């Protein structure tokens, strides 16, 4: 039996990196997958076909993560297309890095809207569905930067720290209705963006990690799979690092 057989999962920002890795893992384990994208319809269509090859239903939705009305429209559309939603993964995020002395108000607002407000938007919009069925798993993507901070990323760190507080509060509010809410805090994970970094820099970072390697999207996806499945039915309000021991 596959871990997510016939469950419906909605993953925001899933056309690349960690989001794509989670979508692939969920489909492999029998979930029907709804996912959002911001701009590239070509990538969205390619991922949809890739997921459907696992014999599940997959649908891509273009949606503005920072808009509450768009989140409501998204949830309504997914429920109409799939019948329900069992798992929500809030993964959509951006970076606008820079030292605070050079950071613009726009850099701050863009990151907070896409990374943090989006989590509020989709979680609030999906509440009615989860409350009605008295079940649901919400998985929010935070970051080790949200736990320890990082120079040059005050906006990103604040958004990811906000997700941690939000996660714990939602777990307390909705736990009595059998709705779970947990956060994943990835460390240095290999993605398309890190592939553009200088190899020497990557090697230096990896050597500073106790497990002596960077993480993969599968490392994060495996945890998301666990939190989405019934194997984690007694786990809520937790922030779990996937960082190779970086914050130990």
Reported as a single tens digit per residue, the pLDDT across 42-77 is 999 999 999 999 999 999 999 999 999 999 999 999
Cα distances (angstroms) measured from residue 171 to each of 34, 115, 120, 126, 232: 23, 19, 13, 14, 14
- Mean pLDDT lowest for which of 167-176, 189-198, 226-235? 189-198
Q: What is the mean pLDDT of residues 77-87?
A: 98
Q: Which is the catalytic residue, given 37, 61, 156, 234?
A: 156
- How far apart are the C-alpha atoms of 34 and 8, rounded to whole Å? 7
Domain boundaries, the chain: 8-241
Q: What is the mean pLDDT of residues 235-240?
A: 98
Q: Which residues of 109-125 are buried (b: 16+ CB within 10 A; e: fewer)?
A: ebbbbbbbbbbbbbbeb
How do residues 98-110 score in pLDDT, each as one tens digit?
999 999 999 999 9
End-to-end CA distance of the chain: 35
How do residues 130-159 score in pLDDT, each as one tens digit?
999 999 999 999 999 999 999 999 999 999
What pLDDT score was predicted for residue 175? 98
Domain 8-241 is found in CATH 3.40.50.720: yes
Helices (H) and strands (E) counted in the chain, each on its own, are 9, 7
What pLDDT score was predicted for residue 197? 66
Q: Is the pLDDT of residue 202 over 80?
A: no
What pLDDT score was predicted for residue 201? 73
Q: Based on the residue annotation, tell me whether 234 is a catalytic residue of this protein.
A: no
Q: What is the mean pLDDT of residues 23-34?
A: 98
pTM tops 0.75 = yes
Residues 6+ away with beta carbon under 8 Å from 197:
none
Tokens describing residue 76: 């309504």
């Amino acid at each position: 039996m596959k871990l997510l057989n016939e469950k419906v999962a909605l993953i925001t920002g899933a056309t690349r990196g960690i989001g794509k890795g989670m979508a692939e893992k969920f489909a492999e384990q029998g979930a029907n997958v709804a996912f959002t994208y911001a701009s590239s319809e070509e990538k969205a269509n390619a991922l949809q076909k890739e997921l459907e090859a696992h014999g599940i239903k997959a649908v891509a939705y273009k949606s503005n993560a920072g808009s509450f009305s768009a989140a409501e429209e998204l949830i309504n559309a997914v429920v109409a297309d799939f019948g329900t939603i069992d798992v929500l993964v809030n993964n959509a995020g951006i970076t606008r890095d820079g030292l605070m002395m050079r950071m613009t108000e726009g850099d701050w607002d863009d990151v907070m809207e896409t990374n943090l407000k989006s989590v509020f938007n989709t979680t609030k919009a999906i509440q009615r569905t989860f409350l009605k069925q008295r079940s649901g798993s919400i998985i929010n993507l935070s970051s080790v930067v949200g736990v320890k901070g990082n120079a040059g990323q005050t906006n990103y760190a604040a958004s990811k720290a906000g997700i941690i507080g939000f996660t714990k509060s939602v777990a307390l509010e909705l736990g009595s209705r059998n709705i779970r809410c947990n956060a994943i805090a990835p460390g240095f994970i290999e993605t398309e963006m890190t592939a553009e970094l200088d190899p020497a820099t990557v090697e230096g970072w990896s050597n500073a990690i106790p497990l002596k390697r960077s993480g993969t999207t599968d490392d994060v996806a495996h945890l998301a799979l666990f939190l989405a499945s019934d194997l984690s039915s007694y786990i809520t309000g937790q922030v779990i690092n996937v960082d190779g021991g970086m914050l130990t």
